[in-house]
Structure 1
Amino acid sequence: MNQPHIAFLGVGLMGAPMVENLLQAGFPMTLWNRTASKCEPFAARAEVASTAASAVADADVVITMLENGPAVDAVLVEQGVIDALRPDAVVIDMSSVPPSLAREHAARCAAAGAGYLDAPVSGGTVGAESAALSIMAGGEGAVLERVREVLESLGKVTHIGPAGSGQLAKLANQAIVGITIGAVSEALLLAARGGADPAAVREALMGGFAGSRILELHGQRMIDRRFEPGAPSRIQLKDMRMILDEARAEGLTLPLAQRTHDEYQALLANGQGEADHSGLLLALEHLNGVRMTAADLPPRAQANRE
């Protein structure tokens, strides 16, 4: 059986390693990106299209990995991708967009005779590079089975429910991620200002009930002050905004999500939107007028490090 031809739209921070894994798995591919130069590293192994609509003309599967809902809508609708789809093609939107928009795109694809999945991911660039993404798929189960081999080349796939459900799962994921980053920031800064070595505190907590991937990975980023983006803070703020929008639509009040949203908003107001989302520590430091670095720790904390 021939491998399905994949059109991949959005070769950015997450898209590039995903493209690499799909090529390694042997899928023939056509690539498109708004900034065409980002496709150049793959030009010897994949076709590069000049427009999004031309990229999907011969595709069995179309994957979008774009920054936000308006970008996805612009590509699928305004730039004519849905109109250019082959009959029975499957669109897999792996971006993070509002659930209502995912349902709208599913209806548009159905009207065009195409399948649709909203399949956002968790795992960041590390998961993308290692083909270990958690993929949350919304849509018809039969459509998912048609493209399961493609998605399993990128990570672990879970069918959540009907169209829009994948995006709801991603919002749940981002609520936990954002709120937990805030908790880790506060905990490590509190420990450091009281005289404890934050690195030792993190190590101790990793073996207990507070242990988590956030504490493991982002806690270490905070201690090392490595805030180059795996997931930029501006994207986390966008996700927190979508969480609150969805909550309001359902008549819910989510105070922890609201507080975390406001902290990320403060981080961006300080000009640090491109910092990794673990950089929420920077907003907390700015609020308190202190830094969690060895030079700025109380004397007893510095003594613990020596």
Structure 2
Amino acid sequence: MTTAPVTELMSPSNTRVGWIGTGVMGRSMCGHLLKAGYTVTIFNRTVAKAQPLLDMGAHLADSPHAVASQSDVVFSIVGYPSDVRHVILHPASGVLSGLRPGGIIVDMTTSEPSLACEISVAASSKNCSAIDAPVSGGDRGAKNGTLAIFAGGDESVINKVNPLFSRLGKVNYMGGSGKGQFAKLANQITIASTMLGLVEGMIYAHKAGLNVELFLNAISTGAAGSKSLDLYGSRILKRDFEPGFYVNHFVKDLGICLKECQSMGLALPGLALAQQLYLSLKAHGEGNLGTQALILSLERLNNVSLQSVASSEPSA
């Protein structure tokens, strides 16, 4: 099967898809492409995590290289920049070693902008293309196909891949290679301070003797309303810290942000504070919880607990 030219949009009839990384986000995202009728070959280090996709008809490969050799476009959404480098650039087992000329790499991991540029150059040297396309929206956005996708790279290639992106959410073209990653990092900075404001407001309301559930409902339609409140307010009250996005990965993202700030000569004190509070969660062994677990850091700092809020306070 030959790779479609850049001017031809991708469809199940002309495009074979590769997918690397079937965790909290990747599993749902890949599932949407399977449901749309695409032939999908997958790789995941822990095969058991890929089983739901295999049950849906995906094919299993034993390496990123093997995925790429059977695909026209390969998506990756893994944990850390070191993982991205390994699965894409490893000279023997990486995606680029198995991708034929004309193939496309789409890395949806939140990673380093400089690495995205490095991958793009390496792909171009093999007459392939690379897009950095990290996402925001958490597990619910992944499940519902409503993710915000920040895409960097050649706009014509991004437009070609758009039929696949549209199954996952809304693609936003941010500029050349690395710009998708820069946009995602700015997104994470915004989320970090928003989440901190949310949990501080909840702690304050609790200490003041307010019904925290009623308080959240009251502010949700005002200027303090936010996506973070909508997604995580009720989860926090229910002590539901299941990861829509892991604390460990958020610590990684904020660390990349701080590194970029240093190179830019930027001082972002809110980002630095949020990073310290999330690092505190990691130090307490809570790195595999969701980012909404930030409430635990604030509870410890103030020696208070919202533990009984959900069970003892009346519903709005």
| TM-score normalised per structure 2 | 0.92
> Structure 2 matches for 1:197-212, cutoff 5 A?
197-212=211-226
RMSD: 1.8
**Is the counterpart of residue 195 in structure 1 residue 209 in structure 2?**
yes
How far residue 305 of structure 1 moved from its aligned partner, in angstroms, is 7.8
Match of 1:270 among 271, 275, 284: 284
Amino acid at match of 1:166: G
Contact kept? 2:205, 2:211, Cα under 8 Å: yes
**Count of aligned pairs between the two proteins:** 302
CA distance in 2, matches of 1:218, 1:253: 28
Deviations 1:140-174 (A, max 9, x none): 11111121111111110110000000001100111
Unaligned 5+ segments in structure 1 are 297-301
How far residue 303 of structure 1 moved from its aligned partner, in angstroms, is 8.2
**Is the counterpart of residue 294 in structure 1 residue 305 in structure 2?**
no
**Is the counterpart of residue 148 in structure 1 residue 162 in structure 2?**
yes
**Is the counterpart of residue 221 in structure 1 residue 235 in structure 2?**
yes
How far residue 3 of structure 1 moved from its aligned partner, in angstroms, is 3.4
Contact kept? 1:83, 1:112, Cα under 8 Å: no
Further displaced range: 77-86 or 166-175? 77-86
| TM-score normalised per structure 1 | 0.95
> Structure 2 matches for 1:158-177, cutoff 5 A?
158-177=172-191
Match of 1:66 among 65, 78, 96: 78
Residue of structure 1 equivalent to 2:262:
248
Contact kept? 2:212, 2:309, Cα under 8 Å: no
Match of 2:47 among 36, 58, 75: 36
How far residue 236 of structure 1 moved from its aligned partner, in angstroms, is 1.0
Amino acid at match of 1:12: G
**Is the counterpart of residue 121 in structure 1 residue 121 in structure 2?**
no
How far residue 278 of structure 1 moved from its aligned partner, in angstroms, is 0.6
How far residue 220 of structure 1 moved from its aligned partner, in angstroms, is 1.4
CA distance in 1, matches of 2:313, 2:69: 65
Deviations 1:126-147 (A, max 9, x none): 0111111111100011111121
Amino acid at match of 2:71: A
> Structure 2 matches for 1:48-87, cutoff 5 A?
48-78=60-90, 79-87=93-101
How far residue 82 of structure 1 moved from its aligned partner, in angstroms, is 0.7
Match of 1:280 among 284, 294, 299: 294
Deviations 1:72-127 (A, max 9, x none): 10111123321211110010000100111111111111111101100000011101
**Is the counterpart of residue 3 in structure 1 residue 14 in structure 2?**
yes
Give SS of 1:43's match.
helix
Unaligned 5+ segments in structure 2 are 1-10
Contact kept? 2:63, 2:94, Cα under 8 Å: no
CA distance in 1, matches of 2:76, 2:298: 35
Contact kept? 1:197, 1:305, Cα under 8 Å: no
Further displaced range: 43-52 or 201-210? 43-52
How far residue 224 of structure 1 moved from its aligned partner, in angstroms, is 1.4
Residue 233 to residue 148, structure 1, CA distance change in 2 (3 Å)? same
Give SS of 1:271's match.
coil
CA distance in 2, matches of 1:294, 1:241: 33
CA distance in 2, matches of 1:188, 1:84: 51
Give SS of 2:118's match.
helix
Amino acid at match of 2:117: R
How far residue 304 of structure 1 moved from its aligned partner, in angstroms, is 7.9
Amino acid at match of 1:246: E
Amino acid at match of 2:62: S
